[in-house]
Chain A
Amino acid sequence: MRNRIFTAETRRRGVFLNKNRVRLVAFFFSASLCLGGLFSAAAQSDGSQQNKTGRAGTFAIVNARVVTVSGAVIENGTVVIQDGKIVAVGASVNIPSNAEKIDGKGLSVYPGMIDAGTNLGLAEIGQGANATMDVAETGTQNANAKAILAVNPHSSHVNVTRVNGITTVQTYPSGGLIAGQSAVINLNGSTQAEMAVVSAEGLVINFPRIATFGGFNPGVGPQVIEFNDAVKRRDTQIDELKKTFKSAENYGRAKDAYAKDKSLPYPATDLRLEALVPYVRGQRPIIFTVERERDIRAVARFVADMKVKGIIVGGQEAWKAADELKKNNIAVIYTNIYNLPVRDDDSYDYLYEAPSKLQQAGVRFAISTGDGGAEVRDLPYQAGIAGAFGLSKEDALKSVTLYPAQILGVDDRLGSIEVGKMANIVVTDGDLLEPRTNIKYLFIGGRLLALTSRHTELFDSFKDRKESNQPLP
């Protein structure tokens, strides 16, 4: 149903059953199909949303229930926003005289939600408008592909998502082995620079896995790879990945050496290796897309061997490898709430319960939609479902606010309502994770935003339409 087709994992699963999916994947990797170009003008940009980047100012939300997430709930509190930041939070705080007051009576104030696993802005329309798709670069080695440079600030997904209380996402490319670099963006801004919180966040690697499914031949059916061969193939791929990492390390050393001593031969610049350097040195995290226990354990070994920082996206069976994840300080961005259990004998709530199992095992985690963009707005409900199956309501909320901020290393700026943090704030008439709750006010970077989107505009255009009863002439 969802745009999940853009993530590597679902693509792998999807192709098994669907020739069309195979064709779709073929679309991704064959740049020659030009049909999509016909649609690009219509779909690429939602012009009506441009320049709706809100209004800056000094704001005081008063008499509200303030759910700080990092600390206690303040029942009758005030939050003051100035210069894009939260400058005061508490039961009794000084309100600047120039502040625009917002009556928060009966309302709750939350930090904006963060979805740490999306392709938002890189993927507008999955089928039939290929020119709007910038998720998967061709080839397997794309460390230098940067999501931030392809995010469409005017994608209609931006507004549709933020009016549901999601103010920040990590967006990443998905294709090939080394897919490229993710970005953390706020869902507001007319340019990529205005949106960016972190322009180069993590390096996405679709970690080699033991795959016994070898593709789908139209008219023939799925091709099965013998298990031992699949293991060997996986091992070879991991060895190659390690070699690439070593090359990047050597490249970095050569560059550093030359910087210090210009008498050395100049090492030619290689954009792909250059992009890898901060990641192989453990300065920035590597985001591994991986689902199953055996593959997750392989990631943990890889992280330990290569001495890199790891984050897992997917993580269906991550709780089973909790020991190794904890040992190697690997956090999990869990994207499997809206998925069916893989095996028939898995309990029906197997994937709903996984976050609570991660929590119990002491693994750092966040809940994410893993979506291409259009359905990222369901993030609160996905967290809420985990809350119905073992996770406490508090942790369900944290799993889409503070926890993703911590995992992405932006918790100094985002994820809770604390003085000094960026004013990404959502004011609601109820529990943030409940589908019946309405968003009443929305701030991103301290700017008060209109609660409009492509959807509200179409709604306004048609809600009162009367029948014209005019037949064809």
Chain B
Amino acid sequence: MKTLTSIFIVLLLGLATLAQTRNEVLIKNATVLTAIHGTLENTDILIRDGKIAKIGKNLAAGGSAKIIDATGKFISPGIIDCHSHTMMDAINEGSLSVTSMTRIRDVLNPTDIAIYRALAGGVTTANLLHGSANAIGGQNSTVKFKFGHPIEDFMIPDAPPGIKFAMGENPKRSSQTFQPGQTPRYPRTRMGTLEVMRDAFVRARDYKQAWDDYKAKKTKVPPRRDIELEPIVEILEGKRLVHAHGYRSDEHLNLMLLADEFGFKVATLQHGLEAYKIAPEIARRGTGVSIFADSWSYKLEAYDSIPYNAYILWKNGVVVSINSDSDERMRRLNLDAAKMMKYGGVPEEEALKMVTLNPAKQLGIDKRTGSIEVGKDADIVIWSAHPFSVYSHADMTLIEGDVYFDRSNDIQKRPEIAKEREALEKMDINKAPASGATSPRIPSEKRTEERDEAEYGDNR
């Protein structure tokens, strides 16, 4: 009897665990913008274990399912920002022109409030890139914004690794010196920038040859490990994605020609504000372009940037994404995508793809996210109105079925937060120094506007 009871308890526990892992969420009666199969009216989405299990009308869920009534609301895939520097405690290792050994993974801060604000703008996934100070920068991280979780949970396990390249004004200006007598860093011109890249690939090719020879037992002594060249060998082997910052079309074309020569494909041209000038060349190579919707004129090499860039690239068959490169702008990528309908006339779904499925493709994670399809991760935003309407706002943002942002909860908690703040301000330690009628000391201003800036300036 005792044994039976124990077995029963074990079974119960087992069932409970099972129920937990078979977690269900049912979102009911929404207008669903799938970003791949058009718009579905009055549609339900059933999420099971973090994946989209069913899409259809009048779906049923298990008794323990969390039900979200989305009547009158719009659903889109979670927004993916293909160029961000959020939650990074450092952006540029600007001391060398090739810093392929550095990893963004090592400087991520999962408690950065910018993550939450991005979630409130419907962003679920981001490509966190090294800055643009170096011809070859550091290794990027593709993350999901699982705010409140440890950093390990942010990592997308099967996201292919990548690396930042940079051309033009940013690596050039990183050559300037700060102290008299300091040796300027090479390169200082666009000529030199390309040579730095060529040199790295030549060295990587030789390094790979040395290892290949060793593995083929042609040599007896293993080559000395080189952590600068290893990631570059991975590029040559097609295992690491190149995300190349640049503006002028000629330099992006030259990079693609260099890639042709070394036998790899550039994954994305980042910024690529003049990409429209070489759209056929980009399309033929299958290279993606990740751009600003309409930023221009903030620097000389952005003077030929036009908001019709996305349209021309799309028309030529290039996979285009719209990125933010800014904690602020990240919160309104839905509106940036909407603008693409106006500038040239990108169709609605294609415009939506530019902040969802297309960046997923560019980052090699489109099998798991970027659209509302059965089998994909339930990375979903519930909007108060069509996300392309300026009057809309995100009501809820889910990653793998879990709610990471809920506007009604957020509003509900505000009085509590205000109270806590008030209490903290009254504590002696937080009082302003004796200064008459001034308000309490406020924590020092933080990086408020653009995060894409670091030792060597901003990375646009």
Contacts and interface: CB of A to CB of B under 8 A. Distances in A.
A1 B389 contact: no
Contacts of A196: none
B391 A381 contact: no
B289 to A, nearest CB: 14
Interface in B76-96: none
A459 B438 contact: no
B442 to A, nearest CB: 7
Contact of A462 (B312, B331, B435): B312
A438 B284 CA distance: 32
Interface in B215-229: none
Nearest to B300: A128
Contacts of B22: none
B453 interface: yes
A385 B301 contact: no
Contacts of A212: 444
Nearest to B344: A459
Given A18-B458, A127-B300, A436 B391 contact: no
A13 B390 contact: no
A349 interface: yes
A467 B116 contact: no
Contacts of A228: 433-435
Given A18-B453, A21-B453, A374-B298, A340 B339 contact: no
Interface stretch (A273-281, A386-394, A406-414): A386-394
Most B CB contacts (10 A, CB to CB) among A21, A212, A465 go to A465
Contact of A3 (B297, B315, B410, B457): B297
Interface string A10-40: 1001101111110100000000000000010
Contact of A389 (B299, B393, B444, B447): B393
Most B CB contacts (10 A, CB to CB) among A18, A126, A129, A226 go to A18
B38 to A, nearest CB: 18
Interface in B158-202: 169, 173, 178-179
A127 B299 contact: yes
A458 B306 CA distance: 7
Contacts of B324: 1
Given A17-B447, A436-B388, A463-B312, A125 B410 contact: no
Contacts of B438: 210, 227, 231, 294
A156 interface: yes
Contact size class for B? Answer: 35 or more
A348 interface: yes
Given A344-B446, A381-B390, A18 B460 contact: no
A293 to B, nearest CB: 7
A435 interface: yes
A1 B328 contact: yes
Nearest to A46: B303
Interface stretch (B63-71, B101-109, B274-282, B362-370): B274-282
B453 A465 contact: no
Given A18-B453, A387-B391, A467-B284, A374 B445 contact: no
A228 B311 CA distance: 55
A132 B298 CA distance: 11
A79 B160 CA distance: 59
A437 interface: yes
B431 to A, nearest CB: 10
Nearest to B444: A212
Contact of B306 (A125, A226, A459): A459
B114 interface: yes
Contacts of A437: 342
Contact of A388 (B292, B301, B390, B445): B390
Contact of A467 (B280, B390, B391, B444): B280
B389 A434 contact: yes
A219 B453 contact: no
B449 A339 contact: yes
Contacts of A210: 438
Interface in B421-460: 421, 432-436, 438-439, 441-450, 453-458, 460
29 contacts: A1-B298, A1-B324, A1-B450, A14-B449, A14-B450, A20-B453, A20-B457, A20-B458, A125-B299, A125-B300, A128-B299, A157-B297, A219-B179, A227-B433, A228-B435, A338-B329, A344-B113, A349-B393, A374-B295, A374-B297, A377-B294, A385-B390, A433-B390, A434-B338, A435-B339, A435-B341, A459-B312, A462-B279, A463-B276
Shortest Cβ-Cβ A-B pairs, 5 listed: A20-B457, A384-B390, A467-B280, A128-B300, A374-B297
Interface of B: 113-114, 116-117, 120, 169, 173, 178-179, 276-277, 279-281, 284, 292, 294-301, 303-304, 306-308, 311-312, 315, 324-329, 331-332, 335, 338-339, 341-342, 344, 384, 388-393, 410, 414, 417, 421, 432-436, 438-439, 441-450, 453-458, 460
Given A1-B460, A434-B389, A435-B390, 11 more contacts: A20-B173, A21-B453, A125-B303, A338-B329, A340-B327, A342-B448, A344-B443, A434-B390, A436-B338, A437-B342, A463-B344
Interface of A: 1-4, 10, 13-14, 16-21, 23, 39, 43, 124-129, 156-157, 160, 210, 212-213, 218-219, 224, 226-228, 231, 293-294, 338-345, 347-349, 373-375, 377-378, 380-381, 384-385, 387-389, 393, 433-438, 454-456, 458-459, 462-463, 465-467
